[in-house]
Structure 1
């Protein structure tokens, strides 16, 4: 039995990682700002690199935002 793509779609708020584009829409932070945060915080654990693609770890990024006073 196969499952169509529609049944494999996971809501953004349930995903472990988000693409830069998805995170920008979800958090209302620009793609450029997200890329800059990754560049400025290379030792933070709120992202993971998949090749040359950065993926945002949703829950860890939310904890980072909770502690940040400005983005």
Structure 2
């Protein structure tokens, strides 16, 4: 790859890492737990139930789409 492209890619990665998790569109399970106060284990249980509207996989890592997760939580009577 071109050096300029590589430098820009590194800059984008640093910017993504420095962003606070409440501004991110996609969160890790750990960030989602911190954001909502729900435990990581409980979030993973909800994801593993199947037909989860807010989870996507990024290779090996499971990611949570923040807006869809908040909508899901708003509709739940009990977690």
Distance 2:23 2:34 in 1: 15
Structure-1-length-normalised TM-score = 0.83
Number of matched pairs: 68
Q: Which residue of 1 aligns with 2:40?
A: 31
The answer to which structure, 1 or 2, has the higher relative contact order (CA under 8 A, 6+ apart) is 1
Distance 1:69 1:45 in 2: 17
Distance 1:70 1:54 in 2: 23
Structure 1 moving runs of 4+ over 4 Å: none
Spell out the pairing of 1:1-71 with structure 2 (5 A cutoff).
3=11, 5=14, 8=15, 9-40=18-49, 42-71=50-79
Deviation at 1:51, TM superposition (A): 1.7
The structure having more radius of gyration, on CA atoms, is 2
Structure 2: stretches of 5+ with no match in the other structure? none
What is the CA RMSD across the aligned residues, in angstroms?
A: 1.8
Structure 1: stretches of 5+ with no match in the other structure? none
Structure-2-length-normalised TM-score = 0.75
Structure (1 or 2) with the greater helix fraction? 2
